[in-house]
Homo-oligomer: A and B are copies of this chain.
Amino acid sequence: MRAIILSIGDELTLGQTVDTNSAWISRQLAAVGCNAVRHLTVGDAQSDIESAIRDAVPLCDFLICSGGIGPTEDDLTRQALAAVMGMELELDAAWMARLEEFFRKLNRPMSPLNSIQAMVPRGATLIENTVGTAAGITATIQASADRATSLHGVPLECRIFCMPGVPKEMKVMFTRDVLPHVQAAGGGAVILSRTLHTFGMGESNVADLLKAHGDLMQRDRNPSVGTTVSEGVVSLRLNARFPSADQAARELNATEASCRAALGDLIYGQDHQTLPAVVAGLLFEDPLARKWAPAVATAESCTGGLLAKYLTDIPGSSRYFRQGYITYQNEAKTNLIGVPAELLAEHGAVSEPVAEAMAKGAQCQSGAAFALAITGIAGPGGGTLTKPVGTVCIALASPQRVQVRTFVFSGDREMIRDRSAKMALTLLRFQLLGKPVPF
C-alpha cells in the first residue's frame, strides 16, 4: 500500500511554519504497513491544490491531505477536490445543524463564512470533527485508466481524505476516522522501526563495519538498515516490514542483534536515549553507588561549561554531579585546580600534560571519583600548523589512573565544542563499562 501526504497552506510554502503533520502521519501509516512514498506541500491557491491532487492520485492508494478546510477565503481544498472530481459542492444539512448548535453553545454568532464548512462535493462524505468546526471530507477517485495502467498494470482507485491542518484536530480525526480504513485495506502488514545510536566513528566507518558483518546495509534487505548523522551522532535506522507484528518484532530483534555484533559497545543507546542519559544510567547503576552515585567533576577550557551542561541535562544529576570548574584562561587553570604554570609554559594550554593536570586537579579539589578535563582550540582563530583548529585534548581521571587522548574534530566552533563534550562523555562511558575505547 502506498500513501501520499499532501499538506496545504501558504504558511508552509513560505517557510513560516514547519510542517510536523507529515512526519506524524507517516509514522502512523508505517506502523500499519503503509508506505508514505511522497510528502507534497503546496500553497493556498486552488489551481496548485488541484494539480497536486491530480498528480498524486495515480501514484497512491491513499491521499492524506491536511489544511485548507477552514472557513476563510484562503481555504480552498474542498473547492479544489470538487474540481478534480468534476462535481458541484452541496450542503450537508446535518453538519450545518451541528455548526449552528456549536456556535449557539459558545454563545457566539455564527459568521456566514462558516457555512462553507458544511459544503461537500457531490459523491464525497463528511468526516466528523469532534474538536473544531472543520469537518473532514473523504472521497474515492478513479485514476484515469491510461496513466494508472502505465504505472502498475491495473486501473487504480485512490481514496482521498481531507483533514484540518491544525495538528490537534488532525490527529484526533486521523486516528479515529482515517487510520482504520488504511489498516483494513492493508490486511495486516506491519512496519516496526528501531534506531541505534553511536558516537565516535565517522558514518562511513560505521557503514564499513556493517558491510563487513553480513552486508547489513544492503539496499533490499528486510529489515533494512540505514545510517543518519545528527550533531555528530551516527544513528542506525532499522525498519522491518512483515505481514504480522510478531514476525516484524522477531526479525527486528534479530537484525538489532546483528548490528550489535558488528558494532559492539560503539552503540550507546537506542530510540530516544541520549548520551548524557546513558552515562547517567551507568553512574546510577554503578556497583559502588548507594545513596549517591560515584561523583563526576569537570574542568573545562574550550567547551566553556558545555560538558557540565550535558551532565546536568538529566533530572537527578545532583546524585553524581557536585561541581565543575570552567578554567578558560591559564591563570584560572593554575588558581582553581592547581595546574603548574611551568607545565602551561612548557607544553601550551592545549596539550596532554595540561589536560591530565586539569583532570587530576579537579578530581583532587572536588573529591569526586571521576574528573573529566577538556582543553582545545575551538576556533575559528588560534590554530597553528602543529595544533590546527579542532585539536582537543581530553583527560579522564579515575580512582585508579588518568587517561588522556588528543582528537582533531572538524567543523565550526559550535561543532568542535559539541563533539569535544560528547567525546568526554564517551571516554567516561567506556571507563564505566570497564572496556577499552574502540577507536
Contacts and interface: CB of A to CB of B under 8 A. Distances in A.
A37 interface: yes
Nearest to A218: B73
Contacts of A332: 322-323, 366
A71 interface: yes
A37 B42 contact: yes
B203 A71 contact: yes
Contact of A72 (B70, B108, B207, B335): B207
Interface string A120-143: 000000000001100000000000
A91 to B, nearest CB: 17
A228 B9 CA distance: 9
Given A227-B72, A328-B322, A23 B27 contact: no
A18 B23 contact: yes
A434 interface: no
Interface stretch (A81-89, A308-316, A338-346, A394-402): A308-316
Contact of A305 (B11, B230, B308): B308
B22 A41 contact: yes
Interface string A191-209: 1010100000011110110
A249 interface: no
Nearest to A102: B410
A13 interface: yes
A412 interface: yes
Contacts of A12: 23, 26, 39
A259 to B, nearest CB: 14
B316 A322 contact: no
B313 A204 contact: no
Contacts of A328: 312, 317-318, 321-324
B108 A202 contact: yes
Interface stretch (A181-189, A296-304, A353-361, A425-433): A296-304
Nearest to A302: B312
A106 B303 CA distance: 20
A20 B19 CA distance: 8
Contacts of A18: 18-20, 23
Nearest to A204: B111
Contacts of A113: 204, 207-208
A155 interface: no
The 6 closest A-B pairs by CB, nearest first: A305-B305, A304-B312, A15-B26, A305-B308, A324-B326, A323-B332
18 contacts: A11-B237, A13-B36, A14-B193, A18-B20, A37-B48, A38-B52, A40-B41, A70-B229, A106-B410, A109-B205, A131-B410, A168-B411, A298-B305, A306-B309, A309-B309, A322-B331, A324-B326, A326-B326
